[in-house]
Amino acid sequence: IVKENSSSMKEFILLSLSDNQGVQKIYFVVFLLFYMLTVAGNLIVLTVTSSRHLNSPMYFFLCHLSFIDICYSSVTAPQMISGFLVENNTISFAGCIGQLFGVHFFGCTEIFILTAMAYDRYVAICRPLHYPALMSRRLCGRVVGLSWAGGFLHSTLQTLPIALLPFCGPNKVAHYFCDVHPLLHLACADTRAEGLAAVANSGLISLSCFLILVTSYVVILVSLKGQTLAGWHKALSTCGSHIAVVFLFFGPITFVYIRPSSDLSEDRTVAVFYTLITPMLNPLIYTLRNGEVKGAVRKLCRRKV
């Protein structure tokens, strides 16, 4: 274990969600169950949406979203879950920087994919006659490629300044995974510039994409004026699941990254929602709200049986 005031940091100690040993054992069971449901649920959706029968752009995006959710939760959940069983949940410096990169890479890519899915719903509802031309397979592929590239660029710009900071003091990260604000608190340097850059980077991306998403749904609702009740029901059932995912994911993530963090324990609690709860709920939300996906899941289950 690295001693305080050493010249270089070899490893960090990640804090748990609770200091109570009894509560930690309960958390171990609960979050292990959550993680297993996340992986299993998203694998089912990934398998179903990659079939030939569901070939619309929405399912193409949903397939990538499920893959991202598996990766996103896997970056943080195993380390957190194993930490409930040990006294000191340690992570190497390289592992910490890698975890920081992974969280922002998959998180930012998910933000861009959700934004692309909102545009897909807008075109499907507001411009249905032009939908095949506006949402071609080639365009969808380019959008997904740009989403992955954008996530990589964002994560690189977020991780590199942190990796270059000197860490020579306490090595207890006030979080259950390595993130920007907790690491800035440990650096042996003036980190105000890096803190502002983090808010400008992560905060503005999450807030601007959230506003774009909200605007797109306002436009969709306005376009439904004069529609029959059946038209309203079809439109809302089409994008209702997406609205639920957007608010569950963007609410907590915007809260954490849009401001310079002062209460790290509060951030630690809120982060559970966007790193584990939302990836777990995504398969349930999309499956329960979509008849085609439910039908494909039933067919898959019958075939397996």
pLDDT at 5: 38
Backbone angles phi, psi at 13, to 5 degrees: -110, 120
pLDDT at 68: 95
Band (pLDDT 50/70/90 cuts) for residue 305 is: low
pLDDT tens, position by position, 220-239 = 878 777 666 766 666 666 66
Separation of alpha carbons 108 and 152, rounded Å: 8
pTM above 0.85, yes or no: yes
Domains defined for the chain, CATH in brackets: 11-303 (1.20.1070.10)
pLDDT at 194: 83
Judged against a pLDDT cut of 80, whether residue 151 lies above it is answered with: yes
pLDDT at 2: 38
Task: Kindly give, in sequence order, each residue whose CB lies less than 8 Å from that of residue 290, ignoring residues fewer than 6 positions away.
Answer: 241
Q: Which DSSP string do the residues of 53-84 spell out, in sequence order?
A: T--SHHHHHHHHHHHHHHHHHHHHHHHHHHHT
pLDDT at 207: 87
> In which order are the strands placed within the sheet that holds 89-92?
89-92, 11-14, 172-173
Backbone angles phi, psi at 289, to 5 degrees: -95, 5
CA 142, 144, 150, 152 torsion: positive or negative? negative
pLDDT tens, position by position, 49-100 = 766 666 788 888 988 999 999 999 999 999 999 989 888 889 999 999 999 9
Band (pLDDT 50/70/90 cuts) for residue 302 is: low
Separation of alpha carbons 246 and 5, rounded Å: 43
Specify the higher pLDDT residue, 128 or 155: 155
Q: Which of 64-78, 94-108, 141-155, 208-222 bottoms out in mean pLDDT, i.e. has the lowest?
A: 208-222
